[in-house]
Amino acid sequence: MRAYYHYYEQSDSWLAVAGQARIDKERETAKNYLVPYLPTQGKNIINIEFAEIVETSTEFLKLTTGLDTTQHMDRWKKINYFLYNNELWNSTPFRRFYEAESETLLDRYYVYE
């Protein structure tokens, strides 16, 4: 979602493509983001899920205790506004990611209705 809104949505190479070709480009690009990152292990390393930052979870608050993160988090929330949209799950990038994931898991092309 972040790659779509930050890079692709306004990219000249994306804006030049429309219709089914655009859908295919979005879906094929989404496949690059299907591989999850493995947690890093080691001394003094803390793994935190992206959702914990977005939702400002208890774990995230514990991690940032004593730090003044207000200005940084306000900026972060402003540029990542789409993550706080209640309709995010119905958005174009989410649908393309779902289609890409379906194609990959089922090893066949997504059927549009």
Query: Measured between alpha carbons, how far is residue 68 from residues 44, 58, 72, 73, 99 in Å?
Result: 21, 16, 8, 9, 40
Which whole number is the average pLDDT over 59-71? 90
Q: Model-level pTM? A: 0.67
Q: Given pLDDT bands bounded at 50, 70 and 90, which one contains residue 65?
A: very high
Convert the pLDDT of each residue in 27-42 to its tens digit.
888 888 887 777 777 7
Q: Given pLDDT bands bounded at 50, 70 and 90, which one contains residue 112?
A: low
